[in-house]
């Protein structure tokens, strides 16, 4: 099976119910060899793809171009093969932050090991580090906002009575490599500022509406629920479509303390509204308690897609 065939299989299954994390042997039982993968890494150019941030939770494993399975990490993968074999690994994510919706991440070049020596009842350890497909070569990083530039490309709408501010310091998201990302976006709701809705300044007219995989990625932490969705223009009317509600990420005192990474599937909503003149991403929330402020932090927002 050639690589494009493997990618076609991944594209078909990207948003379907996926393979279980443990694939049982078929036929007579025998002693397997084992492949161990503890974690997956990411290598990317900050200026092209944004910060080096990911939430790869699964390894999709192929041997000799045949699928073995999708395995939650860390994984000890039993294989009924011996000798030298080609092994390929693709990263996997939890779509829309839902653990039961596992999907391969379709924007990375698979890590291929041309010759892995498998010995029954022995363990081979692999340490895959992934790179994006070339930007512009069917892959499109359409929008990036990490709050470290000269201006912010997502701003308050008329539905807001407050705005998003750039903040630094220990509460901001920080690049684990310590190279980039000094600032994050922050919104505070109080009894005086009771709702916010921030949206992209740009009206996107070129997002894929024919079924290509298209994701919104972002890091966030929040002390209360917020919603993510799309504005879209049809028949001279701006419509608002909520896609997902994000739960609080845990707090230390009043402030949220845990950053979370999420991949939100925009594809079906773009297809359902393919006749729209444009799309705009929005994030919103409302003040719904009386025991203090609500805090919302965002960073590394990215819309990315790959042509079919």
Instruction: List, for residues 205-219, the tens digit of each pLDDT value.
Output: 999 999 999 999 999
Residue of higher predicted confidence among 28 and 301: 301
Positive or negative CA dihedral for 110, 115, 121, 123?
Answer: negative
What residue spans define the domains of the chain?
A: 3-132, 139-306
Check for a shared fold between 3-132 and 139-306: no
Work out the average pLDDT over 302-308: 93
Work out the average pLDDT over 22-33: 62
pLDDT value at residue 91: 98
Q: pLDDT class for 6, splitting at 50, 70, 90? A: very low
What is the residue-averaged pLDDT of the chain?
89
Task: Choose from 17-31, 225-239, 252-266 the range with maximum mean pLDDT.
Answer: 225-239
Task: Choose from 7-16, 62-71, 134-143 the range with maximum mean pLDDT.
Answer: 62-71
Q: pLDDT class for 290, splitting at 50, 70, 90? A: confident
Q: Is the pLDDT of residue 177 over 80?
A: no
DSSP string, the chain: --HHHHHHHHHHHTTS----SSPPP-SS--PPEEEEE---EE---HHHH-SS-----EEEEEETTEEEEEEESSEEEEE---EEEEEEEEEEEEBTT-TT-EEE-TTEEPEEEEEEEE-TT-EEEE--EEEEPPBTTTEEEEEEE-S-SSS-SEEE-TT-SS--EEE-STTS---TTSSS---EEEEEE-SSS-EEEEEESS-BS-S--SS--EEEEEEEEESS-EEEEEEEEETTEEEEEEEEEEPP--EETTEE---EEEEEE-HHHHHHTTT-S-EEEEEEEE---SSS-EEEEEEEEEEEEE--
Q: Is the pLDDT of residue 77 over 70?
A: yes
Q: Into which CATH architecture does domain 139-306 fall?
A: Sandwich (2.60)
Q: Is the pLDDT of residue 21 over 80?
A: no
Q: Look at strands 123-126 and 33-37 and give their pairing.
A: parallel
pTM of the predicted protein model:
0.88
Q: pLDDT class for 102, splitting at 50, 70, 90? A: very high
pLDDT value at residue 293: 93
Q: Is the pLDDT of residue 20 over 50?
A: no
Work out the average pLDDT over 112-117: 98
Work out the average pLDDT over 138-158: 95
Which CATH number is 3-132 given? 2.60.40
Find out whether 186 and 248 touch, Cβ atoms under 8 Å.
no
Work out the average pLDDT over 216-242: 97
Q: Is the pLDDT of residue 181 over 80?
A: no
Q: Is the pLDDT of residue 23 over 90?
A: no
pLDDT value at residue 289: 74
Work out the average pLDDT over 114-119: 98
Q: pLDDT class for 99, splitting at 50, 70, 90? A: confident
């Amino acid at each position: 099976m050639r690589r494009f065939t493997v990618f076609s299989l991944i594209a078909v299954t990207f948003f379907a119910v996926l393979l279980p994390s443990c694939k049982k042997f078929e036929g007579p039982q025998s002693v397997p060899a084992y492949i161990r993968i503890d974690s997956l890494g990411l290598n990317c150019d900050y200026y092209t793809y944004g910060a080096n941030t990911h939430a790869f939770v699964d390894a999709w494993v192929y041997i000799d171009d045949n699928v073995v399975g999708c395995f939650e990490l860390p994984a000890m993968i039993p294989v009924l093969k011996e000798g030298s074999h080609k092994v390929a690994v693709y990263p996997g994510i939890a779509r829309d932050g839902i653990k039961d919706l596992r999907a391969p991440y379709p924007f990375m070049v698979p890590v291929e090991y041309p010759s892995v020596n498998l010995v029954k009842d022995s363990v081979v350890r692999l340490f895959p580090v992934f790179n994006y497909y070339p930007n512009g070569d069917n892959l499109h990083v359409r929008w990036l906002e990490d709050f470290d530039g000269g201006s912010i490309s997502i701003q308050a709408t008329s539905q807001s009575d407050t705005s998003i501010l750039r903040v630094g310091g220990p509460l901001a998201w920080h690049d684990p490599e310590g190279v980039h990302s000094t600032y994050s976006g922050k919104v505070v709701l109080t009894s005086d500022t009771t709702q916010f809705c921030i949206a992209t300044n740009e009206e996107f007219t070129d997002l894929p509406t024919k079924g290509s995989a298209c994701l919104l990625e972002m890091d966030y932490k929040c002390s209360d629920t917020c919603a993510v969705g799309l504005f879209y223009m049809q028949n001279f009317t701006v419509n608002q479509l909520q896609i997902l509600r994000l739960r609080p990420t845990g707090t230390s005192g009043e402030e949220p303390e845990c950053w979370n990474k999420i991949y939100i599937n925009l594809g079906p909503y773009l297809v359902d509204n393919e006749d729209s003149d444009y799309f705009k991403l929005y994030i919103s929330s409302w003040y719904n308690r009386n025991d203090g402020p609500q805090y919302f932090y965002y960073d590394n927002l990215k819309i990315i897609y790959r042509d079919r």
